[in-house]
Amino acid sequence: MTELDRACAQFRTLLEEQQQRLAAMDTERVDLTKKPTVTVGLAGGDGIGPILMEQAERVLRHLLQAELATGAVVLKPITGLTIENRLAEGCSVPPSVLNEIRACDVFLKGPTTTPMGGTMESANVTLRRELDLYANVRPVAIPEEGIDWVFFRENTEGEYVLGSRGVELDGMAVDFKVTTDSGTRRIARAAFEHAVQNGKTRVSIVTKANIMKKTDGKFTAICHEVARDYPGIEVDDWYIDIMTANLVDPRIRNRFQVVLLPNLYGDILTDEAAQLRGGVGTSGSANAGDRYAMFEAIHGSAPRMIEAGLGDYADPRSILRAAAMLLRHIGRTAAAAQLEQALDACTVTVTGDTNGATCAAYTDALLKLL
């Protein structure tokens, strides 16, 4: 078999796998607000993750103390999602750890390290695929500028789902991107439903459909099909390159409300949006499907901070914003609002170094406000 034959055989396998995924995609939605007991998994991850998770757990235990006492909510530690364990097991999420996570209803996750190079994919990519967490939702608000954005990023397709499955031939490397009708339709519907339920009037679709004509072309076409079911919502299209410029243009950026994007573009644009708010340490992220949901900080594991002995100075606001989103998802809306208000009101400065407060000191101040 030639190199080309092997590459074609691998591509065929990928296509068959994606067809199987597509066939199994539709599931029944679980309403966690009606469950007598909600199990919340907690995994610190790598680097600064365990430091952040310790503080997030303090806050959750304070806000949920009555429900923890009655068993209405259970906090379940998950310890195996570390880079050391994943490397030892030779997979991004070991099967035993995945089973522990599946035993939970929702999951609060610290940042995890992805090895550079090699074939091990991101733990996030694996979890999003295995739990079918198709909607990555990232809110970014800058009230003083009239900015209130919510980004809906498709989470299980695009370049990332096959990013570690490309092929190499002599002098050539090829990666793959996938867009499906059902996958696009469900993320689009999630974005438009959010707009209707939250009084939003505009959904902006972001692609590069002028270049990626098959995949991005499909994405934008199906989003417009879904939009026809929501006649009260204004819809506009932007290319990813100009949209990155729009977010830093003070003349127009406060016009955007709900932004709907494929996977890679969503990753890039939401990091830019968080930076405008004050840094990736200030925003949380939800990864939701019909059965499971995962909430996380949007930044990485910060190995340089750990190497410099500055881990205790990590900013906990992103994981705490994620915790507030988790509380809202499980129907604890009053606790979520209380946490969000406290985060907005807390004036303790965390800079990521000894010029600012420690992670624990910030949480001490936050708990006083709570």
**Same domain as 237, residue 154:** yes
Find the CATH number of the domain harbouring 48.
Answer: 3.40.718.10
Task: Output the six-digit token pair for 137.
Answer: 């939702």
Q: Which residues contact 93 (CB under 8 A, 6 or more apart)?
A: 81, 86, 101, 123, 126, 127, 130
Q: Where among 277, 308, 329 does a domain terminate?
A: 277
Is 213 contained in some domain? yes
Lowest pLDDT segment from 22-26, 128-132, 240-244, 260-264: 22-26
What is the band of 137 on the pLDDT scale with cuts at 50, 70, 90? very high
**Same domain as 249, residue 124:** no
Is 234 contained in some domain? yes
Tokens 């016009």 label which residue?
255
Q: Is the pLDDT of residue 321 over 90?
A: yes
**Same domain as 158, residue 129:** no
Is 352 contained in some domain? yes
What is the band of 26 on the pLDDT scale with cuts at 50, 70, 90? low
For residue 244, give the H/E element and its range: helix 240-246
8 A C-beta contact, residue 92 and residue 126: yes
Q: Where among 230, 253, 277 does a domain terminate?
A: 277
Residue 345: helix, strand or coil by DSSP? helix
Q: Which residue has the higher pLDDT, 114 or 63?
A: 63
**Same domain as 127, residue 148:** no
Residue 9's pLDDT is 92
Mean pLDDT computed over 11-29: 86
**Same domain as 146, residue 107:** no
Q: Is the pLDDT of residue 72 over 70?
A: yes
Q: Is the pLDDT of residue 220 over 80?
A: yes
pLDDT tens column, 274-310 = 889 877 767 788 999 999 999 998 888 999 999 999 9
Residue 27's pLDDT is 66
Q: Which residue segment(s) compose the domain that 129 sits in?
A: 31-133+289-370
What's the structural domain count of the chain? 2
Q: How far apart are CA 191 and CA 194, in angstroms?
A: 5
What is the band of 367 on the pLDDT scale with cuts at 50, 70, 90? very high
pLDDT tens column, 237-256 = 999 999 999 999 999 999 99
* DSSP helix, strand, coil percent of the chain (3-state; round to 5): 50, 20, 35
**Same domain as 365, residue 272:** no
Q: Which residues contact 9 (CB under 8 A, 6 or more apart)?
A: 1
CB atoms within 10 A of CB 239: 15
Q: Is the pLDDT of residue 67 over 80?
A: yes
**Same domain as 271, residue 154:** yes
Q: Is the pLDDT of residue 117 over 90?
A: no
Is 252 contained in some domain? yes
Residue 277's pLDDT is 82
Q: Is the pLDDT of residue 96 over 70?
A: yes
**Same domain as 167, residue 83:** no
- Over the chain, what is the mean pLDDT? 93
pTM to 2 decimal places: 0.84
Q: Please tell me which of 67-76, 134-143, 165-174 the model is most confident about, judged by mean pLDDT.
A: 67-76
Task: Output the six-digit token pair for 325.
Answer: 């989103």
CA 152 from centre of chain: 10
